[in-house]
Amino acid sequence: MTFLITGADGQLGRLLSGVFAAAGTVVACTRAELDVTNAAQVAAVIGNARPDVVVNCAAFNDVDAAEEQQQRAFDVNAMAVRALARAAREVDAVLVHYGTDFVFDGNSARPYTETDPPSPRSVYAASKLVGEWMAADAPRWYVLRVESLFGVAHAPGTARVGSIDRIITAIERREPARVFRDRVVSPSYLPDVAAATQTLLAKEAPSGIYHAVNGGYCTWYELAQHIADTLGGRDLLVPIDFAATPMKAVRPRFAALDNSRLAAAGYVMPTWQDAIDRYLSFRQRSATI
């Protein structure tokens, strides 16, 4: 089986390139090697490789910058997905694409399901939602919505450090860690997202949207407390109010996602606490090598 992975220089792309190498041939395309916004180039590369699965890890993820770079956000997050889906159709390949919790407005009082109507409130969120629609042009397709990704070391100059890594690093350095006490999330541990992706493909699950987040939900402050219980340093946590923090782009205040559909398809995501514990253990082991 041949897997073509776009955005192979990002945190998820690097991980999946290694994971799928054990299952077949991987054609890993970095941004320098494949411009996903160039439809002709996308068609040529996929037509030449003739992969069984196209995994799209390319994305414009700078939420605030998207407010100013609207065209770029839609080119990468939406139009590129259309090009990938159409190229996948030409070679009868499965398309895997990754979405976001930001497609919801954050006004819910319970975790969002895949059947809840999206209501994006930022340019980034709108571009990602259109990308979900475009993915359906592929003959078989999966959109895995992920949230607050964490779990793989970032290569210098290739990826931005996520919120969870920033919290961990601040505590390790014995520096104050500012965390929202009123924003609710369901984080996604990268190895678990990879396992969920593998399961959907292996089981040939029905095409559609799946929430690939770890089980349960918490405020950022509760998540930081869990980290501090392992590393020490609860006194370093500085709770701040989400509503009182100015940001260029609107973010959903309540961003918890329900992952029941993924469980029904054959993969039960571990809890967020379990994921955090495994990641902290991984970081500690890596530091001693």
Mean pLDDT of the chain: 95
Banded model confidence at residue 158, pLDDT cuts 50, 70, 90: very low
Q: Name the DSSP class of 270.
A: P
pLDDT, average across residues 80-96: 98
Q: Are 249 and 193 in contact (CB under 8 A)?
A: no
Side-chain-facing half-sphere of 185: CA atoms under 13 Å: 26
Q: Tell me which residue of 168, 169, 209, 162 sits closest to 187, measured CA to CA.
A: 162
Banded model confidence at residue 159, pLDDT cuts 50, 70, 90: very low
pLDDT in tens, 15-51: 999 999 999 999 999 999 999 999 999 999 999 999 9
| Percentage above 90 pLDDT, the chain | 93
- Amino acid making up residue 289: I
For this structure, is 210 an active site residue?
A: no
Q: Choose the catalytic residue: 124, 142, 189, 267.
A: 124
Lowest mean pLDDT of 83-87, 243-247, 272-276, name the range.
Answer: 243-247
Is the pLDDT assigned to residue 241 strictly greater than 80? yes
Question: Cα(182)–Cα(219) distance, rounded to whole angstroms?
Answer: 6
Structural domains of the chain, count: 1
**Residue 161: its pLDDT value, please?**
74
Q: Are 41 and 35 in contact (CB under 8 A)?
A: yes
Model pTM score: 0.95
Question: Cα(245)–Cα(263) distance, rounded to whole angstroms?
Answer: 35
Q: Are 187 and 215 in contact (CB under 8 A)?
A: no
Q: Are 40 and 16 in contact (CB under 8 A)?
A: no
**Residue-number span of the structural domain to which 147 is assigned:** 2-288
**Residue 152: its pLDDT value, please?**
74
N residues, the chain: 289
Give me the CATH number covering residue 141: 3.40.50.720
**Residue 155: its pLDDT value, please?**
44
**Residue 175: its pLDDT value, please?**
97
